[in-house]
Amino acid sequence: MVAMYHNPVLLQESVDGLNIKEDGIYVDVTFGGGGHSKAILKRLGSKGKLIAFDQDEDALENNIEDGRFTLINENFRFITQFLKFYGIRKVDGILADFGVSSHQFDKVERGFSTRFDADLDMRMSKKNEISAYDVVNGYDYDDMRRVLFEYGELRNANAIAKAIIGNREEIAIKTTEQLRQALRAFLPKSKEHKILAQIYQAIRIEVNQEIEVIKEFLLQTAGLMEEGGRLSILSYHSLEDRLAKRFIRAGRFEGEPEKDFYGNINVPFRKVGGLIVPSKEEIAVNNRARSAKLRIAERI
């Protein structure tokens, strides 16, 4: 087991949200260091089952030796396909902890963190076809601006996109430090970390297709869940949380909920409780918890 691979945020609250039955079948689609999975297993009886997903090969080092547990080294966008492969058609709960693990941020060569100089990578799985290098050095102006504006929510995305393209015409931008230097005009000391974090977030989301993956995953959950089954979703930025909130409210990501012939709203889930955020005490212990938001829903 990798020491301190990831410190799970809102551990108690997110697992409580699943309302676990001892003989139930549950899925942890973001295994990471196994913190949530271990907490779920503690509440399961001998007949319970837990299936976990993680596309990051490093997470396999944290595998749990337990006959009730199965770890699948794949992206959770394929959840239905792999559950069917293992003979599972319906589950009692699904937990998703979106975003980047502490391990991925802290492992220098992965290129996720603004704190280190590393090759532009940012792939959550080595099987990914594109890396941050490909985005930074290969995207045209329109695609670069789109990525920075939609995923980084940067108002000056057009100027940043032009700067990246202008710099790479002279020499390829291969490292995170080279990217920082190319964009130094947009990084005032007082806001450098915040703006860099937005730029990194935008590139990372594009590399890993994170928004598309979350949408695909959420749309599959209703068909996989037993009536009364629970969905427990942790997100770390507004793009993720907006998708979770809209899906729970409307069963879709745009527009109003579907209605039947009589005008009754037809949605697959109902909200359970309100938005849950970490306590000041948890944030003091784990600063990365500060932006976390937990939403819980129940299959109708």
List CB contacts of 250: < 8 A, sequence separation 6 or more: 256, 257, 267
**Nearest partner of 31 among 131, 114, 103, judged by Cα:** 103
Helix ranges (DSSP H) in 139-276? 141-152, 157-168, 176-182, 192-208, 210-224, 238-250
**pLDDT value, residue 1:** 43
**pLDDT value, residue 101:** 76
pLDDT lower than 70: segments of the chain: 1-6, 106, 108
**Nearest partner of 168 among 142, 137, 125, judged by Cα:** 137
**pLDDT value, residue 3:** 46
Dihedral pair phi/psi, residue 52, rounded to 5°: -125, 150
Length of the chain measured in residues? 300
**pLDDT value, residue 114:** 83
Q: Cα(203)–Cα(144) distance, rounded to whole angstroms? A: 9
What is the tens place of the pLDDT at every residue in 133-189? 999 999 999 999 999 999 999 999 999 999 999 999 999 999 999 999 999 999 999
The domains found in the chain, sorted by start residue, are 11-102+210-299 (3.40.50.150), 110-208 (1.10.150.170)
**pLDDT value, residue 184:** 96
**Nearest partner of 10 among 94, 68, 95, 89, judged by Cα:** 95
